[in-house]
Amino acid sequence: MQRESDLYAPVKALLQRQGYAVKGEVGAADLVAVRGGEPPVIVELKLRITLALYHQAVARLTLSEHVYIAVPRPTGKTAKRALKDNLAMCRRLGLGFITVRADGRAEVQCDPGAARLRRNPQKAARLLREFERLRGDPNDGGATRHGIVTAYRQDALACAAHLAEAQAPCKGAEVARATGIARATTLMRDNHYGWFDRVGTGLYALTDTGRAGLVHWAGSWEDG
């Protein structure tokens, strides 16, 4: 589909099958459909989903509660995710969502309705746990020049710093006591970053990668 007008005929046919009278370019709206004394249906047609499209559609909600966006159906490797994400966005904003296939068939993904926002208590709890575990404010509200600093990485850095200071392999229990990180042994055993070398039963040494990590992430695990 090369033009927004290519979307018009399939969406018009979809609404006409439901008994609507349809006209294009009415006022600021791309498409308006009317059926009896019901509130009008307004559809904004675009070749791709953009923030501007959502702005336009939300503005149309001042004219009618029945507002849709219509776009070509996503294709390619990210099509499924794009469809899912934009379907969720439309539902949260109270908008309807129509996609038009390459063969010209228009499909309603969701109808307009009251804006819905379902909260996830489990995810909220994980967010707060991560907040409590983070030492200081290492990310400055976004990606740092190093990358995102997580509480897990901070714990790994603290364990690595203890081994560097000791200049010798240490027992996991000793590292846990010195750093206050209860999961120190498990963390060093799992060794997600390649910073630790298990040299004996419960005994860990710092690798060259770990020493480089301490330089790269300098100051990221300390209270700020």
Q: Which band of pLDDT confidence, cut at 50, 70 and 90, is reported for residue 48?
A: confident
Q: pLDDT tens across 103-125, in order? A: 889 999 999 886 665 667 887 77
Whether 10 and 76 map to the same domain: the answer is: yes
pTM of the model: 0.61
**Can you give the CATH number for the domain in which 66 is found?**
3.40.1350
Range in 1-10, 19-28, 62-71 the model is least confident about: 1-10
The answer on pLDDT for 161 being more than 60 is: yes
Tell me whether residue 221 is in a domain: no
Which of 110, 131, 164 lies at the terminal end of a domain, its last residue?
110
Cα-based angle 170, 205, 219 (whole degrees, multiple of 5): 95
Tell me whether residue 222 is in a domain: no
The answer on pLDDT for 168 being more than 80 is: yes
Tell me whether residue 41 is in a domain: yes
Tell me whether residue 206 is in a domain: yes
Whether 93 and 33 map to the same domain: the answer is: yes
Whether 79 and 133 map to the same domain: the answer is: no
Whether 150 and 59 map to the same domain: the answer is: no
Whether 220 contacts 147, CB under 8 Å:
no
Which of 110, 134, 152 lies at the terminal end of a domain, its last residue?
110
> How far, in whole angstroms, is CA 12 from its chain's centroid?
33
Whether 182 and 202 map to the same domain: the answer is: yes
Residue 42 buriedness (CB in 10 A; 0-12 / 13-18 / 19+)? buried
Whether 205 contacts 196, CB under 8 Å:
yes
Whether 85 and 15 map to the same domain: the answer is: yes
| CA separation for the pair 130, 134 (Å, rounded) | 6
Q: pLDDT tens across 76-85, in order? A: 888 889 899 9
Tell me whether residue 13 is in a domain: yes
Q: From the CA atom positions of the chain, what is the Rg in Å?
A: 28
Whether 65 and 147 map to the same domain: the answer is: no
| CA separation for the pair 214, 159 (Å, rounded) | 10
Residues in CB range of 120: below 8 A, 6 or more apart: none
**Can you give the CATH number for the domain in which 157 is found?**
1.10.10.10
Whether 36 and 88 map to the same domain: the answer is: yes
Number of H helices, E strands in the chain: 8, 9
Whether 101 and 178 map to the same domain: the answer is: no
Tell me whether residue 223 is in a domain: no
Which of 110, 139, 169 lies at the terminal end of a domain, its last residue?
110
Whether 140 and 193 map to the same domain: the answer is: yes
Tell me whether residue 116 is in a domain: no
21-26 vs 29-34, strand pairing mode: antiparallel
Name the domain count of the chain. Answer: 2
Question: What pLDDT does residue 28 have?
Answer: 80
Structural domain boundaries, residue 161: 121-216
Whether 128 and 59 map to the same domain: the answer is: no
Residues in CB range of 155: below 8 A, 6 or more apart: 133, 179, 181, 183, 184, 187, 221
